[in-house]
C-alpha cells in the first residue's frame, strides 16, 4: 500500500503567506478564518485521510463496487468510513451555515480536496458530486427546494449526482433524448437513460439527489431546449421524510480501468418525478455552475494523485540500491538510486510541478471566492473572468501532468511499479480518467481558445497578462534572474495569444490544431507566475525558515530551467499551422 503524509506545512505556507488578493481579503465572511483555525482543520483532515481513507484505496481496487439484485454495494469498509466522514462534518466544510455548513472558503476546502484525492479518489467521488449538486441547487433552485434538500446534502445523509451523458451524446448535449413531461401539479415525469454517472447509485446514503438535464416535450431541439431537473432516488415528502422509490433504476456498473471502488452507473429514468431547477430551457447555464467548479476539482484530483506518487517515488529512491553513480557513495556496492542524476531529475520535475500547481490553485481559489462573494459587481465579474479563463487550464494541465508524474513514478519503481504490490500502477490507472471526464482535455482546450480568451466582457487574456505583469514588477536583486527568464516566456505567451486571435478570424483549423499547445503554454507560464509569488516571499522571509525557503528557491530554479522551456516548444509546434494535418490522406 502506498504511503502518504498530507503536505500541511506547504498548504499553511500558502494560506499564511500567499493570501495576497486584496479583493479576497475584503470579504467580511472570511475575516475570522485565521491561520490557527485553518491549521487545526488541515491537521484533522490529514489524520482522517492518512489513517482511515488511505487504506480504502487498495480495498476498493481489489473489491470494486458491484450491482446485486438491483442494489449497488460499495467496497468493504466504505460504509463505516463514510459514516465517520460525515459525523466529523467533512461534507459540510465549504457549505453555507444557513444549511448546516461550516462556511469555509475555497482556499481551505481545496486543500482538503487535494488530500482526499491523494488518499482515495474512488472514495472521494461519493461525496464530491454532492458538493457540486449543493452548489448548483444553492445558486439556481427555489427557496422551497433549497430548504427541503440542502440540509441533508450538507449533512452527508443524502448525496448528489450530475446526469448529463447519454448513449447518443457525450459532449454534444444538444443531441440528448431524455424527455420531461410536465404534470398538472407542476412537476415533470423524466424518462430516458444516462450513462457514466459517477456515484449514480450506492449504499452509503439514505437518498440520492440526481440533477438531470432533459428536454421538455414542448421545448425546441438543440441546446436551447435543455432544462435542468432535480430527480430524487426516493421521493421526499412534504415534511422532509423519505417516501416511495422514484422511477429510477440502475442498469449496470461500468467495468473500468481505474477508480474501481467508485460506482459509475447506467441509470434508467422511467417516468421519474422531477422538479425543475432554474428557468425552463436554461438548464445548461444552471448545470455549468456545477460543471465549472467540478472541472477545477478534477484538476485538483490530478494534483492530489501526483503528490502521493511523488512521495512514494522519493521514499523508494532513498531505499533502493541499483548501479553506481559517477560520484559513487558505495565503492564496494551499489548506490541508492536517488544518487543517479536521471532519478533526481524525475523527482525534481514532479516536485517543482506539484508545488507550482498547488500555489496556482491557491491563487485561483482566492479569485473564485471573490467572483462569488465580493460586494462590488465589477470586481466580481473581473474575478469570474479570470476563473473562467483558468478553469480549463487547471483541469487539463494538472491532469495531463498527473499522467506524466504517475508514469515517471512507475519508472522510478521499475518492475515493482508495474506490479500491484506497491500500489503505484493503481495511481496511474486511477488518474487516467481525470483527463477524460468533465469534458476531455481536448474539449477544454477548444473551450479555452474559442470561448474563454475573448468574450462579451472583452479581451480576457490580455487583462490576465496585464495583471501578471503588474504583479511581477519586483525589485529584489535575488529574484531578478527569475523575472528575466519569466519575462521571456511571458512574451512568448503574448505572441501566441495574438496569433490565436488573428487565426480565429482567418483559419479556425489552425486554432483547433493549436488549442492543446496554447493551453499548455498558458499553463506552464501560469505555474511560473505562481512560482514568482512563492519566490518573492522566499527571498523576503528567508531568515525566518532558511531550510524551507532554500528548498523553495532551488525547486523553483529547476522549474524555470527544466520545465518552463516546454512552453516555447508548444508555441513553435502550434504556429506551424494545420495545412498538413487537414490535407493528409489517411488510407
Just list the catalytic residues.
438
Residue 181 CA, chain-centre distance (Å), reads 35
Residue 193 backbone phi and psi in degrees, to 5: -130, 135
**Chain length of the chain:** 587
* Number of H-type helices and E-type strands within the chain: 20, 13
Instruction: Supply the angle between the helices 424-431 and 283-319 in degrees, to the nearest 10.
Output: 160
Q: Residues 442, 516: contact at Cβ < 8 Å?
A: yes
Residue in 359, 293, 311 with CA at minimum distance from that of residue 54: 311
Q: Residues 290, 139: contact at Cβ < 8 Å?
A: no
Cα separation of 404 and 225, whole Å? 40
Sign of CA dihedral 531, 536, 539, 544: negative
Q: Residues 470, 517: contact at Cβ < 8 Å?
A: no
Beta strand spans in 28-147 (E): 66-68, 71-73
Q: Residues 333, 321: contact at Cβ < 8 Å?
A: yes
Instruction: Supply the angle between the helices 283-319 and 341-373 in degrees, to the nearest 10.
Output: 150
Cα separation of 466 and 170, whole Å? 37
Amino acid at each position: 500500500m502506498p504511503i502518504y503524509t498530507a503536505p500541511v506545512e506547504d498548504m499553511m505556507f500558502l494560506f499564511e503567506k500567499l493570501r495576497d488578493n486584496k479583493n479576497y481579503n475584503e470579504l467580511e465572511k472570511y475575516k475570522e478564518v485565521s491561520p490557527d483555525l485553518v491549521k487545526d482543520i488541515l491537521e484533522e483532515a490529514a489524520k482522517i485521510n492518512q489513517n482511515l481513507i488511505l487504506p480504502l484505496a487498495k480495498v476498493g481496487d481489489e473489491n470494486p463496487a458491484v450491482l446485486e439484485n438491483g442494489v449497488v454495494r460499495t467496497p468493504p469498509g466504505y460504509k463505516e468510513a463514510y459514516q465517520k466522514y460525515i459525523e466529523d462534518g467533512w461534507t459540510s466544510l465549504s457549505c453555507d451555515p444557513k444549511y448546516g455548513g461550516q462556511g469555509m472558503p475555497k482556499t481551505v476546502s481545496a486543500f482538503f480536496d487535494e488530500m482526499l484525492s491523494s488518499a482515495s479518489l474512488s472514495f472521494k467521488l461519493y461525496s464530491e458530486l454532492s458538493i457540486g449538486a449543493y452548489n448548483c441547487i444553492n445558486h439556481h433552485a427555489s427557496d422551497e427546494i433549497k430548504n427541503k434538500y440542502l440540509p441533508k446534502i450538507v449533512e452527508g445523509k443524502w448525496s448528489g449526482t450530475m446526469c448529463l451523458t447519454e448513449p447518443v451524446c457525450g459532449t454534444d448535449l444538444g443531441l440528448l433524448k431524455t424527455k420531461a413531461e410536465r404534470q398538472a401539479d407542476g412537476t415533470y415525469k423524466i424518462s430516458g437513460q444516462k450513462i457514466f454517472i459517477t456515484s449514480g447509485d450506492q449504499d452509503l446514503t439514505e437518498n440520492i439527489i440526481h440533477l438531470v438535464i432533459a428536454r421538455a416535450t414542448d421545448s425546441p431541439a438543440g441546446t436551447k431546449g435543455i432544462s435542468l431537473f432535480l430527480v430524487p432516488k426516493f421521493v421526499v415528502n412534504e415534511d422532509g421524510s423519505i417516501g416511495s422509490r422514484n422511477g429510477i433504476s440502475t442498469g449496470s456498473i461500468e467495468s473500468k480501468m481505474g477508480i474501481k471502488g467508485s460506482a459509475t452507473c447506467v441509470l434508467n429514468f422511467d417516468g421519474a418525478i422531477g422538479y425543475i431547477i432554474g428557468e425552463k430551457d436554461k438548464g445548461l447555464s444552471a448545470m455549468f455552475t456545477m460543471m465549472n467548479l467540478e472541472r477545477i476539482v478534477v484538476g485538483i484530483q490530478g494534483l492530489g494523485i501526483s503528490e502521493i506518487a511523488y512521495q512514494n517515488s522519493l521514499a523508494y529512491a532513498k531505499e533502493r540500491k541499483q548501479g553506481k553513480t559517477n560520484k559513487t557513495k558505495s565503492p564496494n556496492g551499489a548506490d541508492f538510486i536517488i544518487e543517479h542524476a536521471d532519478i533526481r531529475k524525475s523527482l525534481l520535475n514532479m516536485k517543482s510541478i506539484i508545488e507550482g500547481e498547488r500555489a496556482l490553485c491557491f491563487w485561483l481559489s482566492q479569485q473564485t471566492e471573490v467572483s462569488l462573494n465580493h460586494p462590488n459587481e465589477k470586481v466580481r465579474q473581473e474575478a469570474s473572468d479570470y476563473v473562467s479563463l483558468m478553469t480549463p487550464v487547471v483541469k487539463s494541465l494538472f491532469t495531463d501532468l498527473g499522467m506524466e508524474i504517475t508514469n515517471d513514478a512507475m519508472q522510478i519503481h521499475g518492475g515493482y511499479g508495474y506490479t500491484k504490490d506497491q500500489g503505484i500502477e493503481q495511481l496511474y490507472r486511477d488518474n487516467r480518467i481525470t483527463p477524460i471526464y468533465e469534458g476531455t482535455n481536448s474539449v477544454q482546450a477548444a473551450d479555452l481558445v474559442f470561448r474563454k480568451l475573448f468574450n462579451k466582457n472583452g479581451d480576457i487574456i490580455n487583462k490576465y497578462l496585464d495583471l501578471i505583469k503588474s504583479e511581477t514588477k519586483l525589485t529584489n536583486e535575488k529574484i531578478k534572474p527569475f523575472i528575466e527568464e519569466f519575462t521571456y516566456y511571458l512574451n512568448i505567451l503574448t505572441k501566441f495569444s495574438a496569433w490565436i486571435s488573428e487565426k480565429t478570424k482567418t483559419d479556425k483549423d489552425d486554432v483547433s490544431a493549436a488549442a492543446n499547445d496554447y493551453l499548455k503554454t498558458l499553463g506552464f507560464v501560469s505555474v511560473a507566475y505562481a512560482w514568482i509569488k512563492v519566490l518573492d516571499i522566499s527571498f523576503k522571509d528567508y531568515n525566518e525558515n532558511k531550510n524551507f525557503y532554500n528548498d523553495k528557491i532551488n525547486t523553483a530554479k529547476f522549474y524555470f530551467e527544466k520545465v518552463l522551456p516546454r512552453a516555447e516548444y508548444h508555441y513553435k509546434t502550434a504556429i506551424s499551422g494545420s495545412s498538413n494535418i487537414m490535407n493528409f490522406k489517411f488510407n
